[in-house]
Amino acid sequence: MAKTSGIAAISGLAEPESIQLADATAAALAVVSGIFIARQLLVGGQHPEPMSRSVLSVAVFPVAVLTLASMISAGSHSHAGGHDHAGDTHGTEHEVAVNPGPFEADKPVDLSGVPGVTPTQQAAAEDLVIRTREELPQFEDISTLNERGFYSIGDGITGQAEHFINWSYMRDDIILDPSKPESLVFSFDENGDKYLSAAMFILTKGSTMDDVPELGGPLTQWHIHNNLCFTNDPIKPTLALGEAVVGADQDCTPPNVKGGLEPMLHVWIVDNPCGPFAALDGVAGGQVREGEEVVCTEQHAHIGGT
């Protein structure tokens, strides 16, 4: 009721909001609970036959998946007048990131005219975009990714994007190499089909915001993830089902471990209203350097023109 009609008497709830994934998940949990309660009431004092394992699985599994998806997308849950907060990082003196403007992938790369950006920074940023656009299409066949060392982290259920990480590239000392991207980003088109949309470059393990290379200066806003839990699979870790997102100061429940603490940067090869280096939305966008705001918060639905 508060979501669809608003509650005028309570500050902050006067305006109606659209129902989002977290709200739908809560409703789903309530429905499942209601089914079990109703069953008990209908049988009265009798001892009901236990539900078969298959029936129980059908009831519980979709709710578990919805719960994981809502946890991941909760950070993008919108409220009137709301805004994003930067996360805690180990920043030092740096150039504050700026919005480079929309990126059109089918046009020559031109990042000129952005205040505070030196010619050297502009050239470095443009070079990375150009090289990424040239190299990345070799990874567009999703059926070949596993044999090439890329494994999904399981975030595709959000419907926003799916990341495939090459964990061997995460452990080497090579960075910002479009022929060896630490992560590939696949977006979803209007039919739900996946298409390669970006590389995500990640610094070596143990790196912090203090280790971020100058690269494009204000053009390139790096981010981290200080609240994601992964399984401890040594080959292909995934987001931990039931504990994908925790507080920044919380530990993951063993054997799950935190991941995403190293600075990372997207480079898009499709149109993006927030520029070629934009992050995603909500929890998927991570946390930027302390004291900064995300330079652009256009909805991810516009990426790639979908």
Q: What is the pLDDT of residue 303?
A: 60
Band the pLDDT of 86: cuts 50, 70, 90.
very low
How do residues 268-291 score in pLDDT, each as one tens digit? 999 999 999 999 887 788 999 988
**DSSP β-bridge partners for residue 196:** 186
CB 132 within 8 A of CB 199: yes
pLDDT, mean of residues 72-92? 38
- Encode pLDDT of 128-165 as tens digits: 999 999 999 999 999 999 999 999 999 998 788 999 99
pLDDT of residue 220: 95
Cβ–Cβ under 8 Å, residues 128 and 176:
yes
Pick from 21-35, 143-157, 250-264: least confident: 21-35
Q: Is 265 helix (H, G, I), strand (E, B) or coil?
A: strand
Least confident of 9-18, 165-174, 194-203: 9-18
CB burial of residue 54 (10 Å; 0-12, 13-18, 19+): exposed
- Percent pLDDT > 70 in the chain is 66
pLDDT over threshold 80, residue 251: yes
Q: Where are the domains of the chain?
A: 1-82, 119-225+260-305
Task: Tell me the pLDDT band of 299, cut-offs 50, 70 and 90.
Answer: very low
Higher pLDDT, 78 or 141: 141
pLDDT above 60 (res 76): no
d(CA 231, CA 224): 18
Cα 46 to Cα 49: distance, rounded to the nearest angstrom: 9
How far, in Å, CA of 74 to CA of 251, rounded?
A: 19
Averaged pLDDT, 102-125? 96
How far is C-alpha 168 from the geometric centre of its chain's CA atoms?
A: 21
Q: How many CB atoms are closer than 10 A to CB 130?
A: 14
